[in-house]
Structure 1
Amino acid sequence: MKTPAPDVTVVIVNYETRDDTVACVGSVLEHLGGVDAQVVVVDNGSRDGSAEALRAAHPGIDVIEAGENLGFARAVNRGVELARGEFVLLLNPDAVMLEHSLPKLIAFARENPQYRIVGGRTLRGDLTLEPSSCWGAPTLWSLTMYATMLSTVFRRSRVFDPESLGAWQRDTVREVPIITGCLLLIRRADFAELGGMDEDFFLYGEDAEFSMRAAAQGMARAVYPPAAIIHTVGGSSAGSSKGSMVLAGKVTYLAKTWPPRRAAVGVLLLKAGVAVRAGLEAVTRRSHRPWTTVWRRRADWGSGYPHAEAALFGRPVPEPAAA
Protein backbone atom coordinates (compact mmCIF):
# COMPACT_ATOMS: atom_id res chain seq x y z
CA MET A 1 0.00 0.00 0.00
CA LYS A 2 1.33 3.44 -0.97
CA THR A 3 2.22 5.70 1.96
CA PRO A 4 0.22 8.96 1.91
CA ALA A 5 2.26 12.09 1.23
CA PRO A 6 2.90 14.34 4.23
CA ASP A 7 1.01 17.60 4.47
CA VAL A 8 4.20 19.61 4.37
CA THR A 9 7.95 19.28 3.99
CA VAL A 10 9.82 21.77 6.17
CA VAL A 11 13.16 22.69 4.58
CA ILE A 12 15.79 24.28 6.82
CA VAL A 13 19.25 25.35 5.64
CA ASN A 14 21.89 25.08 8.36
CA TYR A 15 25.35 26.62 8.46
CA GLU A 16 27.27 26.66 11.74
CA THR A 17 24.06 27.15 13.76
CA ARG A 18 23.88 23.75 15.46
CA ASP A 19 22.08 24.70 18.66
CA ASP A 20 19.67 27.11 16.97
CA THR A 21 18.79 24.55 14.32
CA VAL A 22 18.24 21.76 16.85
CA ALA A 23 15.88 24.10 18.74
CA CYS A 24 14.16 25.16 15.51
CA VAL A 25 13.44 21.56 14.49
CA GLY A 26 12.27 20.81 18.03
CA SER A 27 9.78 23.68 17.89
CA VAL A 28 8.37 22.39 14.60
CA LEU A 29 7.95 18.84 15.90
CA GLU A 30 6.48 20.06 19.18
CA HIS A 31 3.81 22.17 17.50
CA LEU A 32 2.63 19.98 14.62
CA GLY A 33 -0.96 20.12 15.85
CA GLY A 34 -2.01 17.10 13.80
CA VAL A 35 -0.07 18.12 10.69
CA ASP A 36 1.93 15.31 9.08
CA ALA A 37 5.32 16.89 8.42
CA GLN A 38 8.58 15.79 6.89
CA VAL A 39 11.57 17.80 8.10
CA VAL A 40 14.61 18.15 5.84
CA VAL A 41 17.75 19.95 7.05
CA VAL A 42 20.45 20.75 4.51
CA ASP A 43 23.77 21.25 6.27
CA ASN A 44 26.09 23.51 4.28
CA GLY A 45 29.41 22.01 5.36
CA SER A 46 29.20 23.08 9.01
CA ARG A 47 32.20 22.28 11.21
CA ASP A 48 30.33 22.54 14.51
CA GLY A 49 28.90 19.02 14.56
CA SER A 50 25.50 20.15 13.32
CA ALA A 51 24.66 17.03 11.33
CA GLU A 52 25.50 14.65 14.17
CA ALA A 53 23.65 16.76 16.75
CA LEU A 54 20.54 16.98 14.58
CA ARG A 55 20.41 13.24 13.97
CA ALA A 56 20.92 12.56 17.68
CA ALA A 57 18.27 15.03 18.85
CA HIS A 58 15.71 14.33 16.11
CA PRO A 59 16.31 10.87 14.61
CA GLY A 60 13.16 10.99 12.46
CA ILE A 61 14.25 13.89 10.26
CA ASP A 62 16.21 13.89 7.01
CA VAL A 63 19.67 15.49 7.18
CA ILE A 64 21.51 16.20 3.93
CA GLU A 65 25.22 16.87 4.31
CA ALA A 66 26.17 19.06 1.37
CA GLY A 67 29.88 18.93 2.21
CA GLU A 68 30.34 22.61 1.35
CA ASN A 69 28.59 25.94 1.72
CA LEU A 70 26.10 25.94 -1.14
CA GLY A 71 24.49 29.19 -0.08
CA PHE A 72 20.74 29.44 0.45
CA ALA A 73 19.19 28.96 -2.99
CA ARG A 74 21.15 25.86 -3.96
CA ALA A 75 20.66 24.31 -0.53
CA VAL A 76 16.91 24.91 -0.64
CA ASN A 77 16.71 23.25 -4.03
CA ARG A 78 18.66 20.27 -2.69
CA GLY A 79 16.24 19.98 0.21
CA VAL A 80 13.15 20.22 -1.99
CA GLU A 81 14.50 17.40 -4.17
CA LEU A 82 13.87 15.14 -1.16
CA ALA A 83 10.45 16.63 -0.38
CA ARG A 84 7.34 14.46 -0.36
CA GLY A 85 4.85 16.93 1.12
CA GLU A 86 1.91 18.62 -0.57
CA PHE A 87 3.45 21.90 0.58
CA VAL A 88 7.02 23.07 1.11
CA LEU A 89 7.78 25.39 4.02
CA LEU A 90 11.07 27.27 4.00
CA LEU A 91 12.09 28.06 7.57
CA ASN A 92 15.19 29.79 8.90
CA PRO A 93 17.38 27.84 11.32
CA ASP A 94 17.31 30.72 13.82
CA ALA A 95 13.51 30.58 14.03
CA VAL A 96 11.23 29.09 16.67
CA MET A 97 7.80 27.95 15.51
CA LEU A 98 5.03 29.12 17.83
CA GLU A 99 2.12 26.93 18.92
CA HIS A 100 -0.69 26.44 16.36
CA SER A 101 1.22 28.39 13.69
CA LEU A 102 1.99 25.48 11.37
CA PRO A 103 -1.50 23.90 11.29
CA LYS A 104 -3.10 27.33 10.86
CA LEU A 105 -0.75 28.17 8.02
CA ILE A 106 -1.51 24.92 6.20
CA ALA A 107 -5.27 25.34 6.75
CA PHE A 108 -5.20 28.91 5.47
CA ALA A 109 -3.31 27.92 2.32
CA ARG A 110 -5.80 25.14 1.59
CA GLU A 111 -8.82 27.35 2.25
CA ASN A 112 -7.42 30.22 0.16
CA PRO A 113 -5.87 28.66 -2.95
CA GLN A 114 -5.82 32.07 -4.65
CA TYR A 115 -2.70 32.75 -2.55
CA ARG A 116 0.04 30.61 -4.03
CA ILE A 117 2.79 31.74 -1.61
CA VAL A 118 1.99 32.45 2.03
CA GLY A 119 4.10 33.96 4.78
CA GLY A 120 3.39 34.95 8.35
CA ARG A 121 4.54 37.19 11.19
CA THR A 122 8.10 37.23 12.47
CA LEU A 123 8.60 38.33 16.06
CA ARG A 124 11.52 39.23 18.28
CA GLY A 125 12.26 37.34 21.46
CA ASP A 126 10.03 39.74 23.43
CA LEU A 127 7.19 38.99 20.95
CA THR A 128 7.24 42.45 19.41
CA LEU A 129 7.06 42.66 15.63
CA GLU A 130 10.21 41.98 13.64
CA PRO A 131 8.97 43.09 10.20
CA SER A 132 11.26 41.12 7.89
CA SER A 133 8.70 38.45 6.91
CA CYS A 134 7.72 40.51 3.85
CA TRP A 135 8.78 43.57 1.87
CA GLY A 136 7.71 45.84 -0.91
CA ALA A 137 9.46 45.49 -4.24
CA PRO A 138 12.33 47.90 -5.01
CA THR A 139 11.54 50.77 -7.38
CA LEU A 140 13.57 53.69 -8.68
CA TRP A 141 11.77 55.83 -6.11
CA SER A 142 12.60 53.54 -3.18
CA LEU A 143 16.25 53.35 -4.27
CA THR A 144 16.38 57.13 -4.57
CA MET A 145 15.10 57.35 -1.02
CA TYR A 146 17.87 54.94 -0.01
CA ALA A 147 20.51 56.97 -1.85
CA THR A 148 19.44 60.19 -0.13
CA MET A 149 18.99 58.47 3.27
CA LEU A 150 15.38 59.66 3.47
CA SER A 151 14.35 56.03 3.95
CA THR A 152 16.46 56.02 7.11
CA VAL A 153 15.38 59.45 8.37
CA PHE A 154 11.70 58.61 7.79
CA ARG A 155 11.83 54.91 8.57
CA ARG A 156 8.52 53.04 8.10
CA SER A 157 7.09 55.90 6.03
CA ARG A 158 4.91 54.72 3.15
CA VAL A 159 6.27 57.60 1.03
CA PHE A 160 9.95 57.72 1.94
CA ASP A 161 10.49 54.08 2.97
CA PRO A 162 8.05 52.21 0.70
CA GLU A 163 9.85 48.87 0.73
CA SER A 164 9.08 48.60 4.46
CA LEU A 165 5.32 48.61 3.68
CA GLY A 166 4.84 51.48 6.10
CA ALA A 167 3.65 51.14 9.67
CA TRP A 168 1.54 48.04 8.95
CA GLN A 169 2.10 45.59 11.81
CA ARG A 170 1.60 42.44 9.70
CA ASP A 171 -1.56 41.90 11.75
CA THR A 172 -4.04 41.59 8.86
CA VAL A 173 -4.15 39.29 5.86
CA ARG A 174 -2.63 41.25 3.01
CA GLU A 175 -1.19 40.60 -0.42
CA VAL A 176 2.45 41.67 -0.55
CA PRO A 177 5.12 41.77 -3.26
CA ILE A 178 7.86 39.80 -1.47
CA ILE A 179 7.66 36.94 1.04
CA THR A 180 11.03 36.28 2.63
CA GLY A 181 12.59 32.84 2.91
CA CYS A 182 12.58 32.82 6.70
CA LEU A 183 8.92 31.66 6.62
CA LEU A 184 7.58 30.85 3.17
CA LEU A 185 4.92 28.28 2.31
CA ILE A 186 4.30 27.12 -1.25
CA ARG A 187 2.78 24.05 -2.83
CA ARG A 188 5.47 21.68 -3.99
CA ALA A 189 3.91 21.64 -7.46
CA ASP A 190 4.12 25.44 -7.65
CA PHE A 191 7.76 25.37 -6.50
CA ALA A 192 8.50 22.97 -9.34
CA GLU A 193 6.53 25.07 -11.82
CA LEU A 194 8.66 28.09 -10.92
CA GLY A 195 11.84 26.07 -11.35
CA GLY A 196 12.94 26.42 -7.74
CA MET A 197 15.23 29.10 -6.35
CA ASP A 198 17.62 30.84 -8.74
CA GLU A 199 21.00 29.27 -8.03
CA ASP A 200 22.94 32.26 -9.35
CA PHE A 201 22.27 33.82 -5.93
CA PHE A 202 24.43 32.79 -2.99
CA LEU A 203 22.86 34.56 -0.01
CA TYR A 204 20.27 37.38 0.17
CA GLY A 205 17.99 38.51 -2.65
CA GLU A 206 16.99 35.06 -3.89
CA ASP A 207 13.63 35.12 -2.08
CA ALA A 208 12.82 38.55 -3.55
CA GLU A 209 13.57 37.31 -7.06
CA PHE A 210 11.57 34.13 -6.37
CA SER A 211 8.55 36.17 -5.26
CA MET A 212 8.69 38.46 -8.26
CA ARG A 213 9.11 35.50 -10.60
CA ALA A 214 5.97 34.07 -9.01
CA ALA A 215 4.24 37.42 -9.56
CA ALA A 216 5.14 37.28 -13.25
CA GLN A 217 3.38 33.89 -13.37
CA GLY A 218 0.26 35.34 -11.75
CA MET A 219 0.90 33.73 -8.34
CA ALA A 220 -0.43 35.94 -5.53
CA ARG A 221 1.60 36.24 -2.31
CA ALA A 222 0.05 37.01 1.06
CA VAL A 223 0.85 37.29 4.76
CA TYR A 224 -1.28 35.36 7.25
CA PRO A 225 -0.75 36.83 10.77
CA PRO A 226 -1.77 33.83 12.96
CA ALA A 227 1.23 31.94 11.58
CA ALA A 228 4.12 33.31 13.64
CA ILE A 229 7.73 32.53 14.48
CA ILE A 230 10.31 34.06 16.76
CA HIS A 231 13.18 34.99 14.47
CA THR A 232 16.76 35.95 15.31
CA VAL A 233 17.71 37.95 12.23
CA GLY A 234 20.99 37.00 10.55
CA GLY A 235 21.81 34.02 12.72
CA SER A 236 23.89 32.25 10.09
CA SER A 237 25.57 35.39 8.73
CA ALA A 238 26.24 37.42 11.86
CA GLY A 239 29.81 38.64 12.06
CA SER A 240 30.41 38.09 8.35
CA SER A 241 30.48 40.50 5.38
CA LYS A 242 26.72 40.76 5.63
CA GLY A 243 26.45 44.26 4.22
CA SER A 244 28.35 43.32 1.08
CA MET A 245 26.32 40.12 0.68
CA VAL A 246 23.05 42.03 1.01
CA LEU A 247 24.18 44.55 -1.61
CA ALA A 248 25.32 41.75 -3.92
CA GLY A 249 21.86 40.22 -3.60
CA LYS A 250 20.18 43.53 -4.40
CA VAL A 251 22.37 44.10 -7.45
CA THR A 252 21.62 40.58 -8.70
CA TYR A 253 17.90 41.09 -8.10
CA LEU A 254 17.93 44.24 -10.23
CA ALA A 255 19.86 42.52 -13.00
CA LYS A 256 17.40 39.61 -12.98
CA THR A 257 14.13 41.56 -12.79
CA TRP A 258 14.68 45.02 -14.34
CA PRO A 259 15.53 46.12 -17.90
CA PRO A 260 19.29 46.70 -18.27
CA ARG A 261 19.31 50.52 -18.32
CA ARG A 262 16.94 50.78 -15.39
CA ALA A 263 18.97 48.18 -13.48
CA ALA A 264 22.16 50.18 -14.12
CA VAL A 265 20.54 53.29 -12.65
CA GLY A 266 19.37 51.22 -9.68
CA VAL A 267 22.90 49.98 -9.02
CA LEU A 268 24.22 53.55 -9.14
CA LEU A 269 21.62 54.56 -6.55
CA LEU A 270 22.66 51.66 -4.31
CA LYS A 271 26.30 52.72 -4.56
CA ALA A 272 25.35 56.33 -3.84
CA GLY A 273 23.49 55.24 -0.71
CA VAL A 274 26.51 53.31 0.52
CA ALA A 275 28.83 56.26 -0.26
CA VAL A 276 26.63 58.67 1.71
CA ARG A 277 26.57 56.37 4.73
CA ALA A 278 30.33 55.79 4.56
CA GLY A 279 30.84 59.54 4.35
CA LEU A 280 28.76 60.11 7.46
CA GLU A 281 30.84 57.54 9.33
CA ALA A 282 33.98 59.45 8.39
CA VAL A 283 32.53 62.85 9.35
CA THR A 284 31.30 61.58 12.71
CA ARG A 285 34.58 59.69 13.29
CA ARG A 286 32.88 56.51 14.38
CA SER A 287 35.13 53.76 15.68
CA HIS A 288 32.99 51.10 14.00
CA ARG A 289 32.53 51.81 10.30
CA PRO A 290 30.66 48.97 8.55
CA TRP A 291 29.51 51.15 5.65
CA THR A 292 33.08 52.24 5.00
CA THR A 293 34.02 48.58 4.66
CA VAL A 294 31.10 47.96 2.29
CA TRP A 295 32.10 51.00 0.20
CA ARG A 296 35.70 49.82 -0.05
CA ARG A 297 34.45 46.44 -1.26
CA ARG A 298 32.08 47.86 -3.88
CA ALA A 299 34.08 46.23 -6.67
CA ASP A 300 33.38 42.88 -5.01
CA TRP A 301 29.60 43.25 -4.78
CA GLY A 302 28.90 45.82 -7.49
CA SER A 303 28.53 43.23 -10.26
CA GLY A 304 26.28 41.00 -8.16
CA TYR A 305 26.39 37.23 -8.08
CA PRO A 306 28.05 34.98 -9.14
CA HIS A 307 31.11 37.31 -9.27
CA ALA A 308 30.42 38.47 -5.70
CA GLU A 309 30.48 34.91 -4.40
CA ALA A 310 34.01 34.45 -5.67
CA ALA A 311 35.17 37.92 -4.60
CA LEU A 312 33.66 37.92 -1.12
CA PHE A 313 34.41 34.31 -0.19
CA GLY A 314 37.45 33.42 -2.28
CA ARG A 315 35.50 30.67 -3.99
CA PRO A 316 35.69 29.64 -7.66
CA VAL A 317 33.04 31.30 -9.79
CA PRO A 318 30.24 28.70 -9.99
CA GLU A 319 28.96 27.38 -13.27
CA PRO A 320 25.95 29.34 -14.57
CA ALA A 321 22.67 27.95 -13.27
CA ALA A 322 20.55 26.02 -15.72
CA ALA A 323 17.68 27.94 -17.23
Structure 2
Amino acid sequence: MKVRMRAVCSKRLVVSIVSHGHGEDIQRLLSHLALQSAPYIARIVITHNVPEPALRAPQGGWPFVVQTLHNQMPLGFGANHNKALLDATEAFICVLNPDVQLLEGQEPFAALLHAAAQPHAGCAYPLQVDRQGIVQDSERELPSPRALWRRRLLGCSERRTDWVNAACMVLPMSAWKTLKGFDEGYFMYCEDVDLCLRLRLQGLELIKAPAHVIHAGQRDSHRRLRHLVWHLRSLLRLWTSVAYRRIQSAK
Protein backbone atom coordinates (compact mmCIF):
# COMPACT_ATOMS: atom_id res chain seq x y z
CA MET A 1 0.00 0.00 0.00
CA LYS A 2 2.78 2.45 0.88
CA VAL A 3 4.57 1.83 -2.38
CA ARG A 4 1.37 2.49 -4.31
CA MET A 5 0.74 5.71 -2.36
CA ARG A 6 4.19 7.03 -3.22
CA ALA A 7 3.72 6.18 -6.88
CA VAL A 8 0.38 7.98 -7.01
CA CYS A 9 1.36 11.06 -5.05
CA SER A 10 5.00 11.96 -5.65
CA LYS A 11 5.50 15.53 -6.95
CA ARG A 12 2.10 15.75 -8.65
CA LEU A 13 0.49 18.53 -6.60
CA VAL A 14 0.15 22.28 -7.15
CA VAL A 15 -0.87 24.34 -4.10
CA SER A 16 -2.68 27.70 -4.33
CA ILE A 17 -2.47 30.11 -1.38
CA VAL A 18 -3.99 33.60 -1.30
CA SER A 19 -2.54 36.25 0.99
CA HIS A 20 -4.42 39.22 2.39
CA GLY A 21 -1.43 40.53 4.30
CA HIS A 22 -0.65 37.02 5.62
CA GLY A 23 3.04 37.22 4.72
CA GLU A 24 4.43 35.89 7.98
CA ASP A 25 1.83 33.11 8.16
CA ILE A 26 2.75 32.05 4.64
CA GLN A 27 6.46 32.27 5.39
CA ARG A 28 5.96 29.85 8.29
CA LEU A 29 3.66 27.60 6.24
CA LEU A 30 6.15 27.37 3.37
CA SER A 31 8.89 26.39 5.80
CA HIS A 32 6.74 23.63 7.28
CA LEU A 33 5.72 22.40 3.83
CA ALA A 34 9.39 22.32 2.80
CA LEU A 35 10.30 20.26 5.85
CA GLN A 36 7.38 17.84 5.83
CA SER A 37 5.64 17.76 2.45
CA ALA A 38 8.25 18.50 -0.22
CA PRO A 39 8.11 14.97 -1.74
CA TYR A 40 4.50 15.58 -2.79
CA ILE A 41 4.50 19.21 -3.95
CA ALA A 42 5.65 20.25 -7.41
CA ARG A 43 4.64 23.90 -7.23
CA ILE A 44 3.12 26.52 -4.92
CA VAL A 45 1.40 29.62 -6.27
CA ILE A 46 1.18 32.56 -3.85
CA THR A 47 -1.31 35.29 -4.78
CA HIS A 48 -0.86 38.61 -3.00
CA ASN A 49 -4.32 40.16 -2.97
CA VAL A 50 -2.97 43.32 -1.30
CA PRO A 51 0.52 44.92 -1.39
CA GLU A 52 2.95 43.39 1.11
CA PRO A 53 6.68 42.62 1.45
CA ALA A 54 8.21 39.85 -0.64
CA LEU A 55 8.56 36.39 0.86
CA ARG A 56 12.03 35.26 1.87
CA ALA A 57 13.49 32.14 0.27
CA PRO A 58 15.85 30.03 2.41
CA GLN A 59 19.51 29.63 1.55
CA GLY A 60 19.62 27.12 -1.28
CA GLY A 61 16.03 27.86 -2.30
CA TRP A 62 12.76 25.99 -1.81
CA PRO A 63 12.44 22.25 -2.62
CA PHE A 64 9.47 23.08 -4.87
CA VAL A 65 8.73 25.81 -7.39
CA VAL A 66 7.28 28.95 -5.77
CA GLN A 67 5.45 31.36 -8.05
CA THR A 68 4.17 34.75 -6.91
CA LEU A 69 1.26 36.72 -8.35
CA HIS A 70 0.39 40.32 -7.42
CA ASN A 71 -3.11 41.69 -7.97
CA GLN A 72 -3.60 45.27 -9.12
CA MET A 73 -6.97 45.19 -7.35
CA PRO A 74 -8.25 42.68 -4.75
CA LEU A 75 -10.18 39.74 -6.17
CA GLY A 76 -12.58 37.35 -4.50
CA PHE A 77 -11.60 33.98 -3.01
CA GLY A 78 -12.69 31.90 -5.98
CA ALA A 79 -11.36 34.31 -8.61
CA ASN A 80 -7.92 34.29 -7.00
CA HIS A 81 -7.66 30.50 -6.93
CA ASN A 82 -9.04 30.16 -10.45
CA LYS A 83 -6.45 32.62 -11.72
CA ALA A 84 -3.60 30.89 -9.89
CA LEU A 85 -4.58 27.46 -11.22
CA LEU A 86 -5.65 28.51 -14.72
CA ASP A 87 -2.75 26.88 -16.59
CA ALA A 88 -1.95 24.13 -14.07
CA THR A 89 -0.85 20.81 -15.54
CA GLU A 90 -0.28 18.87 -12.32
CA ALA A 91 -2.47 15.85 -11.62
CA PHE A 92 -3.87 17.32 -8.40
CA ILE A 93 -4.59 20.80 -7.06
CA CYS A 94 -4.77 21.99 -3.47
CA VAL A 95 -6.62 25.06 -2.21
CA LEU A 96 -4.93 26.03 1.05
CA ASN A 97 -5.63 28.87 3.49
CA PRO A 98 -2.60 30.90 4.62
CA ASP A 99 -3.48 30.39 8.29
CA VAL A 100 -3.41 26.59 8.07
CA GLN A 101 -0.58 24.97 10.02
CA LEU A 102 0.86 21.46 9.85
CA LEU A 103 1.08 19.35 12.97
CA GLU A 104 4.66 18.43 13.76
CA GLY A 105 5.43 14.94 12.52
CA GLN A 106 2.03 14.53 10.84
CA GLU A 107 2.51 15.09 7.11
CA PRO A 108 -1.00 15.37 5.58
CA PHE A 109 -0.51 15.33 1.81
CA ALA A 110 0.40 11.68 1.31
CA ALA A 111 -2.99 10.70 2.73
CA LEU A 112 -4.84 13.54 0.99
CA LEU A 113 -3.39 12.69 -2.40
CA HIS A 114 -4.02 8.99 -1.93
CA ALA A 115 -7.67 9.72 -1.10
CA ALA A 116 -8.03 12.14 -4.02
CA ALA A 117 -6.74 9.45 -6.39
CA GLN A 118 -9.55 7.04 -5.52
CA PRO A 119 -12.26 6.30 -8.09
CA HIS A 120 -15.15 8.77 -7.89
CA ALA A 121 -13.15 11.16 -5.66
CA GLY A 122 -14.24 14.78 -6.07
CA CYS A 123 -12.05 16.16 -3.31
CA ALA A 124 -10.14 14.94 -0.30
CA TYR A 125 -9.97 16.87 2.95
CA PRO A 126 -8.31 16.50 6.37
CA LEU A 127 -9.70 16.75 9.87
CA GLN A 128 -9.23 20.33 11.06
CA VAL A 129 -8.34 21.04 14.67
CA ASP A 130 -7.44 24.21 16.57
CA ARG A 131 -4.19 24.70 18.47
CA GLN A 132 -5.67 22.92 21.49
CA GLY A 133 -6.59 19.90 19.39
CA ILE A 134 -10.33 20.64 19.40
CA VAL A 135 -12.04 19.45 16.20
CA GLN A 136 -13.36 22.35 14.12
CA ASP A 137 -16.69 22.38 12.29
CA SER A 138 -15.29 22.10 8.78
CA GLU A 139 -17.79 19.39 7.73
CA ARG A 140 -21.26 20.84 7.30
CA GLU A 141 -24.74 20.00 6.15
CA LEU A 142 -26.49 21.98 3.42
CA PRO A 143 -26.87 25.57 4.71
CA SER A 144 -30.63 25.88 4.38
CA PRO A 145 -32.42 28.55 6.45
CA ARG A 146 -33.69 25.79 8.75
CA ALA A 147 -30.23 24.26 9.17
CA LEU A 148 -28.71 27.67 9.92
CA TRP A 149 -31.42 28.30 12.54
CA ARG A 150 -30.68 24.94 14.17
CA ARG A 151 -26.94 25.59 14.11
CA ARG A 152 -26.72 29.26 15.09
CA LEU A 153 -29.59 29.68 17.53
CA LEU A 154 -30.23 26.20 18.89
CA GLY A 155 -26.60 25.05 18.93
CA CYS A 156 -27.39 21.76 17.20
CA SER A 157 -24.57 19.72 15.72
CA GLU A 158 -24.28 18.86 12.04
CA ARG A 159 -26.28 15.80 11.01
CA ARG A 160 -24.38 14.93 7.82
CA THR A 161 -21.59 16.19 5.55
CA ASP A 162 -22.98 17.92 2.47
CA TRP A 163 -19.94 20.15 2.00
CA VAL A 164 -16.54 20.89 3.51
CA ASN A 165 -14.77 24.20 3.86
CA ALA A 166 -11.97 25.10 1.47
CA ALA A 167 -9.29 25.85 4.06
CA CYS A 168 -7.54 22.70 2.88
CA MET A 169 -8.85 20.54 0.07
CA VAL A 170 -7.19 18.46 -2.64
CA LEU A 171 -8.94 17.80 -5.95
CA PRO A 172 -8.00 15.70 -8.95
CA MET A 173 -7.24 18.02 -11.84
CA SER A 174 -9.90 16.23 -13.89
CA ALA A 175 -12.61 17.19 -11.37
CA TRP A 176 -11.34 20.79 -11.11
CA LYS A 177 -11.40 21.19 -14.89
CA THR A 178 -14.84 19.61 -15.20
CA LEU A 179 -16.25 22.22 -12.82
CA LYS A 180 -14.07 25.02 -14.27
CA GLY A 181 -13.00 25.86 -10.73
CA PHE A 182 -14.91 28.06 -8.33
CA ASP A 183 -17.94 30.10 -9.32
CA GLU A 184 -16.53 33.63 -9.28
CA GLY A 185 -19.99 35.09 -8.69
CA TYR A 186 -19.35 34.37 -5.01
CA PHE A 187 -16.98 36.98 -3.63
CA MET A 188 -15.83 35.51 -0.33
CA TYR A 189 -18.40 33.09 1.12
CA CYS A 190 -20.16 29.92 -0.11
CA GLU A 191 -17.68 29.25 -2.94
CA ASP A 192 -16.74 26.01 -1.19
CA VAL A 193 -20.39 25.06 -0.62
CA ASP A 194 -21.16 25.56 -4.31
CA LEU A 195 -18.03 23.67 -5.38
CA CYS A 196 -18.89 20.67 -3.20
CA LEU A 197 -22.49 20.59 -4.41
CA ARG A 198 -21.38 20.66 -8.04
CA LEU A 199 -18.86 17.88 -7.38
CA ARG A 200 -21.60 15.73 -5.89
CA LEU A 201 -23.92 16.43 -8.80
CA GLN A 202 -21.18 15.00 -11.03
CA GLY A 203 -21.37 11.78 -9.01
CA LEU A 204 -18.12 12.54 -7.21
CA GLU A 205 -17.47 12.07 -3.50
CA LEU A 206 -16.07 14.22 -0.69
CA ILE A 207 -13.52 11.91 0.95
CA LYS A 208 -12.20 12.48 4.46
CA ALA A 209 -8.54 11.47 4.53
CA PRO A 210 -6.74 10.16 7.64
CA ALA A 211 -4.86 13.45 8.03
CA HIS A 212 -4.94 16.43 10.41
CA VAL A 213 -4.14 20.12 10.02
CA ILE A 214 -4.46 23.06 12.40
CA HIS A 215 -7.01 25.65 11.37
CA ALA A 216 -9.22 27.85 13.52
CA GLY A 217 -11.74 29.81 11.44
CA GLN A 218 -11.75 33.57 11.96
CA ARG A 219 -15.54 33.96 11.53
CA ASP A 220 -15.19 37.53 10.28
CA SER A 221 -18.85 37.56 9.25
CA HIS A 222 -19.72 37.41 12.95
CA ARG A 223 -17.68 40.52 13.75
CA ARG A 224 -17.50 42.79 10.70
CA LEU A 225 -20.53 44.31 9.01
CA ARG A 226 -18.95 44.26 5.53
CA HIS A 227 -18.23 40.54 5.83
CA LEU A 228 -21.73 39.87 7.10
CA VAL A 229 -23.16 41.62 4.02
CA TRP A 230 -20.91 39.55 1.72
CA HIS A 231 -22.00 36.40 3.54
CA LEU A 232 -25.70 37.18 3.17
CA ARG A 233 -25.30 38.01 -0.53
CA SER A 234 -23.50 34.73 -1.10
CA LEU A 235 -26.20 32.78 0.74
CA LEU A 236 -28.88 34.38 -1.44
CA ARG A 237 -26.91 33.47 -4.57
CA LEU A 238 -26.48 29.91 -3.29
CA TRP A 239 -30.16 29.44 -2.42
CA THR A 240 -31.21 30.54 -5.92
CA SER A 241 -28.58 28.46 -7.74
CA VAL A 242 -29.31 25.47 -9.95
CA ALA A 243 -26.87 23.32 -7.95
CA TYR A 244 -28.64 24.07 -4.68
CA ARG A 245 -32.08 23.33 -6.10
CA ARG A 246 -30.91 20.06 -7.64
CA ILE A 247 -29.28 18.89 -4.40
CA GLN A 248 -32.40 19.85 -2.44
CA SER A 249 -34.66 17.94 -4.78
CA ALA A 250 -32.43 14.86 -4.55
CA LYS A 251 -32.57 14.71 -0.76
Say yes or no: does 1:24 pair with 2:26. Answer: no
Question: Superposition pairs for residues 89-238 of structure 1, below 5 Å?
Answer: 89-98=94-103, 99-110=106-117, 112-132=118-138, 134-139=139-144, 141-143=146-148, 146=149, 150-157=150-157, 164-165=158-159, 176-224=161-209, 226-234=210-218
Q: Are 2:11 and 2:39, in contact at CA under 8 Å, matched by a contact in 1?
A: no
SS in 2 for 1:61: strand
Q: Give the Cα–Cα distance (whole angstroms) in 1 for the partners of residues 72 and 32 of structure 2.
A: 26
Q: Are 2:136 and 2:216, in contact at CA under 8 Å, matched by a contact in 1?
A: no
- 2:235 aligned to 250, 253, 264, which one? 250
Q: Which has the higher contact order (CA 8 A, sep 6+)?
A: 2
Q: Give the Cα–Cα distance (whole angstroms) in 1 for the partners of residues 223 and 98 of structure 2.
A: 16
Kindly name which structure, 1 or 2, has the bigger radius of gyration based on alpha carbons.
1
Q: Are 1:42 and 1:63, in contact at CA under 8 Å, matched by a contact in 2?
A: yes
Q: Give the Cα–Cα distance (whole angstroms) in 2 for the partners of residues 96 and 119 of structure 1.
A: 14
Question: Superposition pairs for residues 38-117 of structure 1, below 5 Å?
Answer: 38-44=43-49, 46-49=50-53, 52-53=54-55, 60-98=65-103, 99-110=106-117, 112-117=118-123
Aligned-pair identity (%): 18
Q: What is the one-letter code of the residue matched to 2:188?
A: L
Paired positions, count? 230
TM-score, normalisation: structure 1: 0.64
Q: What is the one-letter code of the residue matched to 2:126?
A: G
SS in 1 for 2:124: strand
Shift of 1:182: 0.5
RMSD of aligned C-alpha atoms?
2.6
Q: Are 1:117 and 1:220, in contact at CA under 8 Å, matched by a contact in 2?
A: yes
SS in 2 for 1:37: strand
Q: Are 1:28 and 1:96, in contact at CA under 8 Å, matched by a contact in 2?
A: no
SS in 1 for 2:80: helix
Name the CA shift for 1:29/1:238 in 2 (closer, same or farther; >3 Å). Answer: farther
Aligned to 1:296: none
* Greater fraction of residues in helix: 1
Aligned to 2:4: none
Q: Are 2:82 and 2:181, in contact at CA under 8 Å, matched by a contact in 1?
A: yes
Q: Which runs of 5+ in 2 are unaligned?
A: 1-9
Q: Are 2:11 and 2:42, in contact at CA under 8 Å, matched by a contact in 1?
A: yes
Shift of 1:139: 3.3
Post-superposition CA distance 1:177-222 (Å, at most 9, x none): 2121101110112101111110111101111011111111111112
Q: Are 2:164 and 2:192, in contact at CA under 8 Å, matched by a contact in 1?
A: yes
Name the CA shift for 1:18/1:165 in 2 (closer, same or farther; >3 Å). Answer: farther
Shift of 1:235: 8.5
Q: What is the one-letter code of the residue matched to 1:103?
A: A
SS in 2 for 1:196: coil
TM-score, normalisation: structure 2: 0.81
* Greater fraction of residues in strand: 2
Q: Give the Cα–Cα distance (whole angstroms) in 2 for the partners of residues 197 and 233 of structure 1.
A: 20
Q: Which runs of 5+ in 1 are unaligned?
A: 158-163, 167-175, 263-323
Post-superposition CA distance 1:16-47 (Å, at most 9, x none): 11111222222222211632431111111x23
SS in 1 for 2:85: helix
